[in-house]
Chain A
Amino acid sequence: MTVESTAARKPRRSSKRTSAAKTPQSSEPELVQLLTPEGERVEHPDYEIDLTADELRGLYRDMVLTRRFDAEATALQRQGELGLWASLLGQEAAQIGSGRALRDDDYVFPTYREHGVAWCRGVDPTNLLGMFRGVNHGGWDPNTNNFHLYTIVIGSQTLHATGYAMGVAKDGADSAVIAYFGDGASSQGDVAEAFTFSAVYNAPVVFFCQNNQWAISEPTEKQTRVPLYQRAQGFGFPGVRVDGNDVLACLAVTKSALERARRGEGPTLVEAFTYRMGAHTTSDDPTKYRADEERVSWEAKDPILRLRTYLEQQELADEAFFTALDEESEALGKRVREAVRAMPDPDRMAIFDHAYADGNPLVDEERAQFAAYQASFAEEGN
């Protein structure tokens, strides 16, 4: 495991201007990589992976379709069909790699950008759009695919994942749990508490941090002074940094962490070092806070391109494969577009529908008043 000691980092009494101090985080961090940005296959002593041509093409297909879905959702937001969209552009490898490492009986606790993981879980992508269109707060049954609802309050779900994992362990089951969160989220107390609980109770949970370098306008330096994966050490479990734009490495590292959890050896923190190529959400304007050159430099590390290069160079996929995939992408885009436009507004009475599981007389009273009030308009012929 790549648990780095923090001893090398000399504590420095900062001068008066603490805010100007830089994080001692090297720009070329040590990370697990199995496929270089140039599409070259490399080995790592701790993370072996042997995939068939079919499996490799499958990962590529997952990433392409996820990106296509994401692009369609962004376009739909621009056209006013969605109120908001949180794009995963650039994070496809982190999500597909980790998502494909999961077993069906594992349980996923996502934040709000895990469209690729949802794809791997078999959640129909159109279901992800309801909350962004404003017709519901979720739109899928978390237990159908063991994929929990999106969580908007930053960091909360890491505790839910930990508790769920504690339950898994109590049940004597050998499934594992994975919690997704961002580099910004790593600052939340909830995340620190999740680390504490998972370590103390040896919970079978993998913390998968997608460090996409930004929390809206704040760079990772505004969240941490040590590389994030090193945090785990202080809590008593291993942390590893993986090239988040390398789908093979993400798959291998997550698989290994999940297996560790299944063996009863407790939590792992995986930091997928990646980049948010788009805006934080469609409401955000990244030109206010980040330089174009940064994005351009990350484009060279595009997760999809590098796998394509590998597939082509190794002759693992032919032209027919790519053409068919293009067609499949277009069909997916069309399906999503049509599904969103056809998505009906919810019934008004839905406001009251699930406030309580056991019912509540106050809600019943308000529902009746609301219905009578709405009916009064109908009577007036309005």
Chain B
Amino acid sequence: MATQKMSLAKALNESLRKALDTDPKVLIMGEDVGKLGGVFRITDGLQKDFGEDRVIDTPLAESGIVGTAIGLALRGYRPIVEIQFDGFVFPAYDQIVTQLAKMHARALGKIKLPVVVRIPYGGGIGAVEHHSESPEALFAHVAGLKVVSPSNASDAYWMMQQAVQSDDPIIFFEPKRRYWDKGDVETDLIPGPLHKAATVREGSDLTLVAYGPMVKVCLEAAAAAQEEGKSIEVLDLRSMSPIDFDAVQASVEKTGRLVVVHEAPVFYGSGAEIAARITERCFYHLEAPVLRVGGYHAPYPPARLEDEYLPGLDRVLDAVDRSLAY
């Protein structure tokens, strides 16, 4: 097996390169994706190697980017579009929600929309307003879209491959504060289905469920809890729509306790969906109510307060303690 150590950002870059290389219908579109290689350099070097017809610097217009990607997809292309930051997807939200998500159904399945919308998301990098948000629930709520987020380099590589190959539109959230984290990537692996959760740590006392940037925090929390003699299982959801409830159920049947962790506000967040379904599925296995840890019902604060706002180790451990205390 060819195994390489690389950052999550590099894994995405390699994966996009492979996608462009394998299928001439694959295109990359977005602001600054060409010479600059994107503000996070995820598309670094791709325009140089594949040309301006395949890696396209677009006008500064998100609705235009997604709307034309839809048209290109209707014509048989497979566009991968980059939205520069989470907070800038909203000019394109109309196109994504009213068109991209629904066109396949509207055409009674006669057309497919293999569009990947890449969105660097989440906080923790000290940025200004609109650069740190986690709007995944706003997309997961919409039928017709799949919403995924890798937490590590290997998943980034493989999930991007799967997203590009999917005939459904995929909202691909990239945890921007994990871009520089390195991990092993096996470039000739055969990955499991895109929506499958991964058990990233085994445990028996409680299940932590997270995705994207919060998986690392949960793993650290589990390691810290271990020192206090608590055995915590950590599930990386990988897909927020659909959600691998079978995996969560199996884990909760084993541990009896569940804490869901995400950066996005708790109110109407993906944790609410998981809590409700798991309560339904595992009512008699649960020894504590499902708890949620996440952001508050307040605008994402200025950078100097984001450590207070974002769930960190302490807040996760606090929820673990509260659950175990029932």
Contact = CB atoms under 8 A, between A and B. Distances in A.
A187 B36 contact: no
Contacts of A187: 59-61, 64
Interface stretch (A63-71, A240-248, A304-312, A359-367): A359-367
Interface stretch (A29-37, A326-334, A346-354): A346-354
Interface residues of B, number: 42
B263 interface: no
Interface in A130-188: 130-137, 152-155, 184-185, 187-188
Nearest to A222: B57
Contact of B296 (A135, A222, A351): A351
Given A189-B61, A216-B31, A373 B318 contact: yes
B304 A189 contact: no
B302 A131 contact: yes
A19 B52 contact: yes
A218 B298 contact: no
Given A19-B53, A83-B303, A351-B301, A131 B59 contact: no
B127 interface: yes
A154 B297 CA distance: 25
Given A134-B126, A373-B315, A288 B37 contact: yes
A89 interface: no
Nearest to B52: A19
A222 B29 CA distance: 13
Given A137-B302, A351-B301, A189 B64 contact: yes
A153 B303 contact: no
Nearest to B38: A217
B87 interface: yes
Interface in B121-145: 126-131
B1 interface: no
B295 to A, nearest CB: 10
B63 A189 contact: yes
A370 B296 contact: yes
A355 interface: yes
Contacts of B56: 19
B36 A217 contact: yes
Interface in A262-318: 283-285, 288-289
Given A84-B128, A153-B88, A218 B304 contact: no
A76 to B, nearest CB: 15
A299 B303 CA distance: 35
B76 interface: no
Contacts, number: 123
Interface string B7-39: 000000000000000000000000110111101
B60 A188 contact: yes
Contacts of B64: 187, 189
B60 A189 contact: no
A363 B267 CA distance: 10
Contacts of A223: 59-60
B172 to A, nearest CB: 21
A190 B59 CA distance: 13
Interface string B49-70: 0001100111111011000000
A216 B39 contact: yes
A366 B296 contact: yes
A252 B304 CA distance: 42
B180 interface: no
A44 interface: no
Contact of A134 (B87, B90, B91, B128): B128
Contact of A184 (B60, B267, B298, B299): B60
A284 B298 CA distance: 30
A324 interface: no
Contacts of A136: 302
A360 B52 CA distance: 50
Contacts of A12: none
A345 interface: yes
A22 interface: no
A351 B298 contact: yes
B60 A362 contact: no
A189 B35 CA distance: 25
Given A216-B39, A360-B297, A345 B60 contact: no
Contacts of B129: 131, 137, 152
Contacts of A42: none
Given A134-B303, A152-B128, A188 B61 contact: yes
Interface in A18-50: 19-20
Contacts of B87: 152-153
Interface string A105-135: 0000000000000000000000000111111
Interface in B69-128: 87-88, 90-91, 126-128
A136 B301 CA distance: 8
A123 B174 CA distance: 38
Given A84-B128, A153-B130, A187-B64, A216 B32 contact: yes
A9 interface: no
Given A187-B59, A188-B91, A135 B304 contact: yes
A20 B127 CA distance: 35
A13 interface: no
B210 to A, nearest CB: 19
Contact of A154 (B37, B52, B88): B88
A133 B129 CA distance: 11
A84 B127 contact: yes
B2 interface: no
A355 B267 CA distance: 14
A283 B303 contact: no
A17 interface: yes
Contacts of B305: 345-346, 348, 350-351
Interface in B157-203: none
5 contacts: A135-B304, A188-B91, A218-B60, A351-B296, A363-B296
Interface of A: 17, 19-20, 83-84, 130-137, 152-155, 184-185, 187-190, 215-218, 222-224, 283-285, 288-289, 345-346, 348, 350-352, 355, 360, 362-363, 366, 370, 373
Q: Which 8 A-B pairs have the closest CB atoms?
A: A134-B303, A217-B36, A187-B59, A184-B60, A19-B52, A289-B35, A355-B298, A187-B61
